[in-house]
Amino acid sequence: MSNKRKRLIFGVILVMMSLPSITPMLMEIAYRTEMNMRYDINELNAFRADYTRPPNDADYHGNIIRALTVTIGEPYLNAWDDLVYSSDIRITVNGETIETLEDYPVQLQKYAGLPIEGLDRYNDAITYWTVEDKFTGKDFFAVVILRNGYDMRSHGDGEVMPGYVPIEEREFKLIAVQKDGTVSQQLFTFDSKSKLQTQLITESFSGPIHYYLPPGYYYPSPLYPLLYPWITMIIGLGLMLLNFPYDAMKRRDKARTNNE
């Protein structure tokens, strides 16, 4: 077997090895590009220029969306050893109660007794978003609520964290408020989330939220995914292109033409 053929075979092997991993990555890149082209999405919970967080209430084209802590229960330490209070939270739109959340942890103070204001109290269990569809010109206000896995409590070494729910089993509710005050609600999970709903899940978990890649997927080292599968795919394609038997195919086509 010639060296050229060996290099060709080795290139094919590298490509076949890289395809299972690189395919969902390429699909994720295409998905991100699609979302960026179609939607303008802003998370109100994100830090502002003055490092303040948004208040509990928001004004969306005259519609008042508000999150109210209606009861304060007993304090306890959460998984990060922050003092929180088991509380009931009411989500209202224009004064009408849309959702009542029971026994949600609410953090009232930071270190040194500094008070916590606005949505920061809820530790990303409640997030506010504005969404505009660039293709249709329609937009809406979104309230996304984490329905499980929000109440993780302090634990000792080697103990299972009370209240922990795997990322794949997290459940959410989307409350959409239109300009005219119309309210709609959708339940979804990591498994059932749509492309748009994926964009409305805050990135407070281990790594960014993806649509095609596994939940919590992130890039741990240069070995993966830089060396494998990207560099292995590039090297494999290069070996295939440089060592493909173009001349043999041309001679075969020429011989076939002469025989005809």
Based on the fold, state whether residues 194 and 230 are members of the same structural domain: no
Q: What is residue 144's predicted lDDT score, i.e. its pLDDT? A: 95
Question: Is 39 within the bounds of a domain?
Answer: no
pTM above 0.75?
yes
DSSP label at residue 53 = P
Based on the fold, state whether residues 105 and 146 are members of the same structural domain: yes
Based on the fold, state whether residues 107 and 18 are members of the same structural domain: no
Amino acid at 141: F
Task: Give dist(CA 15, CA 102) in Å, integer.
Answer: 52
Question: Is 16 within the bounds of a domain?
Answer: yes
Q: What is residue 152's predicted lDDT score, i.e. its pLDDT? A: 84
Q: What is residue 245's predicted lDDT score, i.e. its pLDDT? A: 81
Task: Give dist(CA 86, CA 121) in Å, integer.
Answer: 12
H or E, element range at 169: none
Based on the fold, state whether residues 14 and 82 are members of the same structural domain: no
Question: Is 34 within the bounds of a domain?
Answer: no
Based on the fold, state whether residues 143 and 240 are members of the same structural domain: no
Using alpha carbons, list the distances in angstroms from residue 192 to 37, 55, 65: 23, 30, 26
Total domain count for the chain? 2
Task: Give dist(CA 191, CA 211) in Å, integer.
Answer: 9
Q: What is residue 218's predicted lDDT score, i.e. its pLDDT? A: 59
Q: Which residue range forms the structural domain that includes residue 189?
A: 53-199
- Residue 152, CA atoms < 13 Å, CB-side half-sphere: 18
Question: Is 184 within the bounds of a domain?
Answer: yes
Q: What is residue 3's predicted lDDT score, i.e. its pLDDT? A: 85
Question: Is 208 within the bounds of a domain?
Answer: no
Based on the fold, state whether residues 118 and 228 are members of the same structural domain: no
Q: What is residue 217's predicted lDDT score, i.e. its pLDDT? A: 62
Q: What is residue 254's predicted lDDT score, i.e. its pLDDT? A: 59
The series of mean pLDDT values per 10 residues for the chain, 260 residues long, is 86 94 93 95 71 78 94 85 91 96 89 78 90 96 92 74 82 96 95 92 66 70 82 94 76 61
Pairing verdict, β 96-106 and 126-133: unpaired
Cβ–Cβ under 8 Å, residues 126 and 67: yes
Based on the fold, state whether residues 194 and 229 are members of the same structural domain: no
Q: What is residue 23's predicted lDDT score, i.e. its pLDDT? A: 95
Tokens of 71: 């009861």
Burial track 184-223 (b if 16+ CB lie within 10 A, e otherwise): eeeebebeebeebbbbbbbeebeeebbbbbebebeeeeee
Helices (H), the chain: 3-38, 195-199, 232-243, 246-259
Nearest CA among 146, 134, 151, 163 for reference residue 197? 146
Based on the fold, state whether residues 114 and 175 are members of the same structural domain: yes
Based on the fold, state whether residues 120 and 156 are members of the same structural domain: yes
Query: Which own/partner contact pairs does 211-215 have at CB distance under 8 Å and 24+ positions apart?
Result: 211/28, 211/31, 212/24, 212/27, 212/28, 212/31, 213/24, 213/25, 213/28, 215/167, 215/168, 215/190
Q: What is residue 184's predicted lDDT score, i.e. its pLDDT? A: 97
